[in-house]
Structure 1
Amino acid sequence: MEHNLFVLVDLLGTFAFAVSGALAAEQRRLDLFGVLAISYLTACGGGVIRDLCLGALPPVGISDWRYLATSALAAGLAIWARPIIDHLKHPIVFFDSLGLGFFAVIGAHKALQFGHNVEVAILLGMVTAVGGGVVRDVVLNRVPIILEKEIYAIAALVGAAIQVLGQLMDWKFALTPWFGALTCFGLRALAVRYSWSLPVVRGRDVAQ
């Protein structure tokens, strides 16, 4: 039952990130193959990086057909339902934030399953959450969100930390991942709504 729960959370994160990738690709006016490719890279990029770090080979995003199918389904729905999705104020940010929360808890959970310590679990939770978005933005020639001043990676770290804390303290396993994902999503949504950001490092002006 526990395994099925985390597979579900992982596939939900895959779906959310795939939609954000498809929407971003559509904005760049890519063809159908381009939309499907960006959707898949966004959905599975972070998980592939995580599995390579853990030595879980081949990565589940490549070896399990459900991830490719979920990505393709999400891309198709994003194209078909674009008029409905456009009613959202910031659709890419919304689905990206959903995926961020789901993947943060999944990455942390899997690292703990492989016997790693708290620090590794939290960091790999963050890497899983932000990796796909970085791949998407680099391929589409955009500045990755993680490099901007928005609250993004911090939200993923919080979600991953909640998952790790819950597992170490034997919280009810059926509730912990949802709580971690919801907290991450909520923090990210509030940061976008109220323009929360980290301080910007400003160097001295150099005279020319």
Structure 2
Amino acid sequence: MRLRAALCVGAAALILPGCTHPKPAPAPAWVSAPDLPAIDHSLDSPSVRRLAESFLRSQDPARAAAGNTVVRRSGTPVTVYATNPGFVADPAAPLDRAGIASYIAVPVRISDRPDTDTMQLVPTPSYPPRAVATGTEETTQPLPTNSRLLLDYPTHTWFAWTRTEIAVLTPGTTPVPKGRVFDAAQFRDWMVSR
């Protein structure tokens, strides 16, 4: 009887700690979709309309009717990350610190303008506007699944960035071939030499 009680207590001691210790939290998602309802709300704001009106005056004056500007999202937004100078400064930094959120690129149609343009929003809620650019360079990059879009501003080179590698999508002003893949050390060296 004592042996059976001791075995039950021993088994409980092995089982209960697993039940009482919290499970580790899952790692945060590497790629998360921008908040579409919040972005659509931002696109309907007076500050976005003012920026769009200014853009129309410079790009398409015949369509720039003050007060009548409507901005509509016409595609899927993408968060653009900029290369992080701190990544180069810290030789021990992991590859997931190679970039920092720069802006959310939102493909938009402005009033009856026939072209699709890009509204750049600050990448934090409430997503205020930052700029408008012609075309849709960001949202037409061939971004693989589970990759972030990384831009090196000094060379205007676009990359697909994962936690383990960085691949060239569109070479900019430096002679780096499309499709070239970097690990952390190689990318750090590239950033120093560019």
What TM-score, normalized to structure 2?
0.21
Greater RCO (CA < 8 Å, at least 6 residues apart): 1
What TM-score, normalized to structure 1?
0.20
**Of the two, which has the highest radius of gyration?**
2
